[in-house]
Structure 1
């Protein structure tokens, strides 16, 4: 029992959920994509939703509260974001696979403690804590330090995308970025690790060794936490779902799911 959640429930909010359905229903698990801070469901609707549906997977993307066309929430917390994910996942027709990108991977990690997912995928995960804060300050001091004092956490387009993506597209995507809640930003930089996942689902971690947001060592630490090694895509930027070679990581995710990974059985 989670007494605090009964005593202080998360405030309801309008949630934007975009989806794409396969032409023929094949009984495959639905995918719920969770974007990182500043991104909305649009980031997955651009390429990955339709591509997943074309391979037979029902695909959905959620805009966390305060993002995209979901309701405003300037003081949202990680707990509220995880609540959004679990509520949407629970409303899907079958047990879902949760796919989190960036800070959305941290939200998914927290949601896994509340929702018995079929599996989970952490894409270029930003899992929080002081190590994350130190790396962010070293790589992007002007964009990170304002977040410590309640300002927005800013990432430049050249941190998000490889040089293979045309400048006009990179600028267009960067111009759509919003901001996360002040409390959630602080919790991301300093927060606690997520509780163990319900049912011990299989977890795939993937990213790029050339990511200018997440160091390669952080990808390795994240994968080890779930008893595996990261799947790497050299030459790609942090926003893998929008970068020039976006098909490669999503096809790797779908290939992994088609093998129907079993629970890890870790103690």
Structure 2
């Protein structure tokens, strides 16, 4: 029992959810994609939603409150973001697989303690702590320092994408980025470790050794937390779902689901 959940419930908001469903329903578990801070459901609707549906998986993407076309929430907390994910997952027709990108992976890690997911996938996970902040400060001081005083955390084209992505596409994606609340940004530094996941679901970690937001050592630590090793895609940027070779990681994700959790 979590007394705070009852005494101080999270304020309900209107949430944007985008979806793509297969032409033939095969009973496979739905996927719920959770974008990182500054991104909305659009980041997965660009490629991954339709591709997952083409391979038989119902696919959904939620914009956390204050992101995308969800209701503005300038003072949202990590707890509120977790609530958004749990509420959307609970409304899906079957037990879902949670897929979180960037700081959305931190949201998913906390949501796993409240929702019995079929499985989870952490894509280029930003799991918080001062080590994450130090790496971001070294790689992008101009974009990271404003977030320390409540400004917007700004990520550059070079951090998010490889050189293979056409410049016009990269500019379009960067211009679509929003911002997380100041409170949620600060909680990236001080967030407690996630509680144990309900039902001990299998967890896959995906990333790139060339990610300029999440160092390879952080990917290894994240995977070890769940008793595995990260699946790496060299030559890609932080936003694997938007980069030029976006098909490779999502196919690996779907292959893994077909072999392990989906078969269960």
Q: Which residue of 2 aligns with 1:183?
A: 183
Question: Is 2:145 the counterpart of 1:145?
Answer: yes
Structure 1 runs of 4+ aligned residues shifted over 4 Å read: none
The alpha carbon displacement at 1:130 in A equals 1.0
Q: Is the 8 A contact 2:159 2:212 kept in 1?
A: yes
Q: Which residue of 2 aligns with 1:38?
A: 38
Deviations for 1:154-190, whole angstroms, at most 9, x for unmatched residues? 1011110000000110000000000001100000123
Count of residues in Structure 1 that have an aligned counterpart in Structure 2: 264
Q: Is the 8 A contact 2:118 2:261 kept in 1?
A: no
Q: Which residue of 2 aligns with 1:173?
A: 173
RMSD: 1.3
Q: Find the aligned partners of 2:184 and 2:50 in 1 and give their Cα distance.
A: 30
Q: Which residue of 2 aligns with 1:111?
A: 111
Deviates more, 1:51-60 or 1:184-193: 184-193
Question: Is 2:54 the counterpart of 1:54?
Answer: yes
Contiguous gaps of at least 5 residues in structure 1? none
TM-score normalised over the length of structure 2? 0.98
Matches within 5 A, 1:51-200: 51-200=51-200
Q: Which residue of 2 aligns with 1:20?
A: 20
Q: Is the 8 A contact 1:30 1:92 kept in 2?
A: yes
Q: Find the aligned partners of 1:174 and 1:195 in 2 and give their Cα distance.
A: 33
Contiguous gaps of at least 5 residues in structure 2? none
The alpha carbon displacement at 1:40 in A equals 0.3
Deviations for 1:213-240, whole angstroms, at most 9, x for unmatched residues? 0000000000000000000000000000
Q: Which residue of 1 aligns with 2:215?
A: 215
TM-score normalised over the length of structure 1? 0.97
Q: Find the aligned partners of 2:170 and 2:192 in 1 and give their Cα distance.
A: 33
The alpha carbon displacement at 1:262 in A equals 8.3
